Amino acid sequence: MLGSLDEVALAIKRYERFLVTWHVDPDPDSVGSGLALREALEQAGKEAVCISPDPLGDWYDFLPGVEDCLAFQMGMQLDFEAAIVLDCEPDRCGGLVEYLNSGIPLINIDHHGTNLGSGKAFCVNPEAAATGELIYELLKNRWQTALTEEIATNLFAALSGDTGTFRYSNTTGQTLQIAGELVQHGANPAKIAMHLYENRAYETVNLMRRALDTLEISEDGLVSWITVTRAMSGEDRWIGQHSEDLVQFPRMIKTVKLAILFREIEPEKTKASFRSRSGIDASYIASLFGGGGHAQAAGCTIHSPLAEARAQVLDAVVRELHRAQQARIAGGNGAESR
Ligand SMILES: [Mn+2]
């Protein structure tokens, strides 16, 4: 862990008016954490405004307090005493990066191991399944915030999102204990899962079908990937913010150790999302292309056309698989310990 929640709590105490923000392509962990934190700050008599670098899709409408969350726009009036950046480094905040770099005191709470921590105070704990776990700790054990149904719902959505509904290997006893307590405070697991996973437009599911048509697998069966072109996804914002849901398809194949989604963002800009298991370090592969994340889930953006970017990534993947295999043969656990 880098920094600490005590450091973060101390820094927050010093200010009254906060910007709360998170990464581009927001996910339930970032949004749920932000909305819960804002309510807690208000309970403590402080002012806080959530501004998302990207507009939120309507599938977030069920999160309590989301109606007061603003989407960043150029020329927006930004006047805060401090900024709290959640679930990423400040430089992943899209249009807000310039403001965050303007000298405003920064407080950073995250669980991505590739985040080295920055700002006045930070807490980066890769052992937390979600940033929502860290927010829970802060509210419960540092501030004695009243866990309202609204806070419980937002934090449960955060935990559910980053653990694949408590299926991924980052799910710990602690995660489930927190989730249990959130349910006791009014979070409704079935309702939250329905909103997060069973609330799509027909067009969106139809796009998933077309994406699934592109499924490919390496000869050895270890790597599988799907590809979404701009022509395929068009302006569909759900696809834009839910690459997670598409990468699960190659991930379902029993021989696959690394699943990849390639997404064409612009003619010269490609996004790769990785999901791995069995000692393959996805964040290492992502870092070769300037990206980051967790060992089991990571991503990067490559400034090359889709076909070229895909070839580069698959090449790097072959080398990393070979290296991990060699490490195992040598009896080491290089891949696991990186
Ligand atoms: Mn997260």
Distance 43 CA to ligand 1 centre (A): 24
Distance 129 CA to ligand 1 centre (A): 7
C-alpha–C-alpha distance, residues 271 and 292, integer Å: 12
* Residues with a beta carbon under 5 angstroms from ion ligand 1: 29, 87, 131, 162
Distance 87 CA to ligand 1 centre (A): 5
Q: What is the pLDDT of residues 160-217, one digit of tens each?
A: 999 989 988 899 999 999 999 999 999 999 999 999 988 888 878 888 888 899 999 9
| pLDDT on residue 235 | 59
Q: What is the dihedral of CA 244, 249, 255, 256, to 10 degrees?
A: -30
Binned at pLDDT 50, 70 and 90, residue 46 comes out as: very high
Distance 37 CA to ligand 1 centre (A): 14
Binned at pLDDT 50, 70 and 90, residue 137 comes out as: very high
Residue labelled with tokens 């949004």: 31
| pLDDT on residue 41 | 98
C-alpha–C-alpha distance, residues 73 and 90, integer Å: 17
Domain ranges for the chain, please list them: 2-197, 202-337
Binned at pLDDT 50, 70 and 90, residue 337 comes out as: very low
Distance 111 CA to ligand 1 centre (A): 6
The answer to whether 149 touches 185, Cβ cutoff 8 Å, is yes
Task: Specify the CATH number of the domain 202-337.
Answer: 3.10.310.30
Q: Which of 18, 72, 23 is nearest to 47 (CA)?
A: 18
Distance 15 CA to ligand 1 centre (A): 25
Q: What is the pLDDT of residues 278-318, one digit of tens each?
A: 778 899 999 999 998 888 889 999 999 999 999 999 999 99
Q: At the fourth CATH level, which superfamily is domain 2-197?
A: inorganic pyrophosphatase (n-terminal core) (3.90.1640.10)
**Residue type present at position 40:** A
Neighbours of 326 (CB within 10 A): 12
Distance 110 CA to ligand 1 centre (A): 7
Q: Is the pLDDT of residue 132 over 80?
A: yes
Q: Is the pLDDT of residue 330 over 90?
A: no
Binned at pLDDT 50, 70 and 90, residue 326 comes out as: confident
